[in-house]
Structure 1
Amino acid sequence: MPSRLSLLLALLLPLSAAATVAPATPPVPAETPAPDPAPPSPRVLLVTSMGEITLELDAAAAPRTVENFLAYARDGHYNGTVFHRVVPGLLVQAGGFTPDLQPKPSRAPVPNEAANGLSNRRGTVAAARDRGVNDSATTQFFINLVDNPKLDHQSPDSPYTAGYAVFGRVVQGLEVVDRIAAVPTGAQGPFPAWVPTTPVVIERVQLLEPVAP
């Protein structure tokens, strides 16, 4: 009898011991760090001879282009320049010439950031460049009057398909842009066409408080 009892206890002991083992605690997943907040969007006021235009710049999508534009704005480069190219149904372009169409000095060009996912839609602002030279943007910029997908990045293989870097948009004053687009134009100075017969002047550029994204 004792031997049978001992055998029974021996068989039950592992079950009892197993029953008292606490279940394994599952590992606590590591917390995913919060993404860095997007930088605030710089804003710039263009005070022109035909009204005011406010631009909001996309420093996250086009950091080099935005900083280049802001550097010229801080230096006062754009004060007294004109919209020298006005093409109805396409764009208005400015930033490089005085009212008598003398070119203003510029610094080294910045890389073309056209492959940033932003499209040349109506009201967007893009960096102008030499059509045949990809990384050639300096001071000049244009505002799209209509959606211009043909100006978007298509391929890096050629400057003719690399596109034009959008770096902001008009948030106030698009009606002023449309008024500029309606002025009479013609040939003048080194340009065979599209120059306003009465200069449209950027009288001054003012940096505004950035806005949170």
Structure 2
Amino acid sequence: PEAPTFAAEPAAELAAYRAVLETTAGNVTLEFRPDKAPEHVRNFLRLAAAGVYDGTAFHRVVRGFVIQGGSMNFRREPLDEGQQRLVKTLQPEFNDIVHVQGTLAMARGDDPASASTSFFICTAAAPSLDGKYTAFGQVVDGLAVVQAIEAAPVDGETPNARIELTRVRLIRR
């Protein structure tokens, strides 16, 4: 069966979903803010439902700042054609969500319109990111797991041992 695309759901209904990030360090539960960044929420849900994030890793860890995951460069298996079609770049939806411990936002390159699959979770307040990165949710359970990932031994910003995002499970409240 085809994974849901969430294309037809009104943005307000997207708030009913939570995502459980099942990692090798434990589970992290996210809730979303479609009132602030509807297309980013829709994108994340669509990618998660299609298994795009399964088998990726938290590839960047910066203590006192962020943990970052979801990059296709760190995926164990290549995407299938259907999954590849879902991966696109997003226009920014900058908003007034502040980047504090537990904030979920999309990573990007220098171009504000380059966010695609990589996301980050703030491990501390990061006011320098406010209004410059699209925040679209927050951790509601599993902050201790985020902190454990943040504490992993690193070489520069790369964890010494792979911290896998095994799968993302969506639940509707």
- TM-score, normalised to structure 1, is 0.69
Where do 5+ consecutive residues of structure 2 fail to align? Answer: 1-11
Distance (Å, rounded) in 2 between the aligned partners of 1:90 and 1:80: 24
Deviations 1:81-140 (A, max 9, x none): 00000000100000013367x9865722111112x211111111001001x201111000
Structure 1 segments, 4+ long, off by >6 Å, are: none
Match of 1:145 among 107, 123, 126: 123
Match of 1:182 among 137, 147, 151: 151
Distance (Å, rounded) in 2 between the aligned partners of 1:109 and 1:41: 24
Structure label with greater radius of gyration: 1
Q: Percent identity?
A: 39
Question: Are the aligned partners of 1:79 and 1:205 in contact in 2 as well (CA < 8 Å)?
Answer: yes
Match of 1:54 among 29, 34, 38: 29
Where do 5+ consecutive residues of structure 1 fail to align? Answer: 1-37, 154-162, 187-192
- TM-score, normalised to structure 2, is 0.84
RMSD: 2.2
Q: Is residue 119 from structure 1 mapped to residue 82 from structure 2 by the alignment?
A: no
Distance (Å, rounded) in 2 between the aligned partners of 1:103 and 1:121: 33
Matches within 5 A, 1:83-94: 83-94=58-69
